[in-house]
């Protein structure tokens, strides 16, 4: 295992590192995370290590993307283990700022997300994307990366970030990487540590429901309303506690499709016990 990553907590120190790196003519890759790292995160880190000279991984549980009733204080924090994993994956720097470092008391400017953010996650977490975009833009400005890597596990987030980059002319290339799954198909999630053994079984119903919808679309199902009704029934039969959404949407605009047209994206968000899980699949 290497000595890497170097842990940096202060913005000034990171800026100095970035400046040296750029002066040396090296490219920078950025992987923003909230820690509690798993193979999904590490796939992004490995991709960044392949594509750029120096990879900065940020580990910051961003308070502004959590609503007051969400799991900010309970969110898993496993920094020592994260640093070991980042060393194995080849990250050069772990940027681990405090809340005060990222949001000093006089910090009040925020990013207003585009229209794509209002449905789906935005309907159930109305302040979420404003918080995500604000922290992501701050991280882009601090790290001055050539490329940033995001997971398609957060499908809507990846679209909203790409739109921000386009609309605000942010000089960075975004790469969206595939969902990494557990052997049984569940999309890897930092929040899966909250699940009991019984809930973990129930959580599989998200992937099962997405597979069912994908099969039906591939067999020619074009009735969006009928398919959504079946998806909701499949989630209920699987034992989820409540459903936020189960939809088939346009892969670019996220408008719900009826009739279904390709390429589309099947998106599901549901609560299993008190844990909220999301999953999706694009059908080309
Ligand atoms: P988070 O720590 O949950 O904010 O996630 C940080 C980044 O990792 C985001 O770009 C996520 O989309 C990505 N990510 C999380 N889970 C997965 C997964 N199972 N597969 C691929 N990427 C993921």
User: What domains lie within the chain, and their CATH numbers?
Assistant: 6-177 (3.40.50.620), 190-279 (3.30.1300.10)
d(CA 129, CA 266) in angstroms, rounded, equals 20
pTM: 0.97
Contact assessment for residue 25 and residue 52, using Cβ atoms and an 8 Å cutoff: no
* pLDDT recorded at residue 1: 45
With b meaning 16 or more CB within 10 Å and e meaning fewer, what string describes 218-232?
Answer: eeebeebeebbebbb
Ligand 1 atom closest to 152 (CA): 12
Cβ–ligand 1 distance for 44 under 6 Å, the answer yes
Please check whether residue 30 is in contact with residue 143, taking contact to mean a CB–CB distance below 8 angstroms. Answer: yes
With the most atoms of ligand 1 within 8 angstroms of its CB, the residue from 35, 37, 41 to mutate is 41
The whole-number average pLDDT for the span 207-232 is 98
Enumerate the H helices of 128-196 as residue ranges: 128-143, 155-167
Nearest CA to ligand 1 atom 14: 151
Distance 36 CA to ligand 1 centre (A): 10
Phi first, then psi, for residue 9 (nearest 5°) are -110, -20
Instruction: Please list, residue by residue across 22-46, b when 16 or more beta carbons sit within 10 angstroms of its beta carbon and e when fewer do.
Output: eeeeeebbbbbbbbbbbebbbbbbb
Q: Which atom of ligand 1 is nearest to the CA of 178?
A: 21
> Tens digits of per-residue pLDDT, 74-100?
999 999 999 999 999 999 999 999 999
Task: Give the pair of three-digit tokens for residue 111.
Answer: 């990013």
If you search the block for the tokens 């699987």, which residue do you land on?
238
Q: Evaluate: CB of 151 within 6 angstroms of ligand 1.
A: yes
Evaluate: CB of 150 within 6 angstroms of ligand 1: yes
- The rounded percent of the chain whose pLDDT value lies above 70 is 99
Q: How confident is the model at residue 283 (pLDDT cuts 50, 70, 90)?
A: very high
- Judge if the beta carbon of residue 188 lies within 6 A of ligand 1: yes
Taking CA atoms only, the protein residue closest to ligand 1 atom 18 is 40
Report CA(40)–ligand 1 centroid distance (Å). 6
Q: How confident is the model at residue 3 (pLDDT cuts 50, 70, 90)?
A: low
Please give the Cα distance from 39 to 180 (Å, whole number): 7
pLDDT grade, residue 66 (50/70/90)? very high
pLDDT tops 80 at residue 240: yes
> What's the pLDDT band for 2 if we cut at 50, 70, 90?
low
Among left, alpha and beta (phi > 0; psi -120 to 50; other), residue 267 is beta
What local confidence, expressed as pLDDT, does residue 75 receive?
95
- When pLDDT is cut at 50, 70 and 90, the band that residue 228 belongs to is very high
**38 part of the active site:** no
What does the pLDDT look like over 241-281, one tens digit per residue? 999 999 999 999 999 999 999 999 999 999 999 999 999 99
The minimum-distance atom of ligand 1 relative to the CA of 32 is 6
């Amino acid at each position: 295992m290497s000595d890497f990553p170097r842990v940096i907590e202060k913005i000034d120190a990171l800026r100095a590192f970035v400046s040296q790196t750029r002066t040396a003519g090296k490219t920078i890759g950025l992987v923003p995370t909230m820690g509690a790292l798993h193979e999904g995160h590490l796939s992004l880190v490995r991709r960044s290590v392949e594509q750029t000279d120096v990879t900065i991984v940020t580990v910051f549980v961003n308070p502004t993307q959590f609503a007051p009733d969400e799991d900010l204080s309970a969110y898993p924090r496993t920094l020592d283990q994260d640093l070991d994993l980042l060393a194995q994956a080849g990250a050069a720097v772990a940027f681990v700022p405090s809340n005060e470092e990222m949001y000093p008391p006089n910090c009040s400017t925020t990013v207003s997300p585009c229209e794509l953010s209002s449905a789906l996650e935005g309907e159930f977490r109305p302040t979420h994307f404003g918080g995500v975009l604000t922290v992501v833009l701050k991280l882009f400005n601090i790290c001055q990366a050539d490329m940033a890597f995001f997971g398609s596990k957060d499908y809507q987030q990846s679209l909203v970030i790409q739109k921000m980059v386009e609309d605000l002319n942010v000089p960075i290339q975004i790469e969206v990487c595939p969902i990494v799954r557990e052997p049984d198909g569940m999309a890897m999630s930092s929040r899966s540590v909250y699940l009991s053994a019984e809930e973990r079984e129930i959580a599989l119903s998200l992937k099962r429901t997405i597979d069912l919808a994908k099969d039906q679309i591939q067999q020619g199902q074009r009735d969006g309303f009928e398919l959504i009704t079946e998806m909701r029934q499949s989630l209920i039969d699987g034992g989820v506690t409540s459903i936020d959404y189960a939809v088939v949407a346009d892969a670019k605009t996220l408008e719900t499709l009826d009739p279904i047209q390709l390429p589309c994206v099947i998106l599901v968000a549901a609560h299993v016990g008190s844990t909220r899980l999301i999953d999706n699949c694009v059908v080309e």
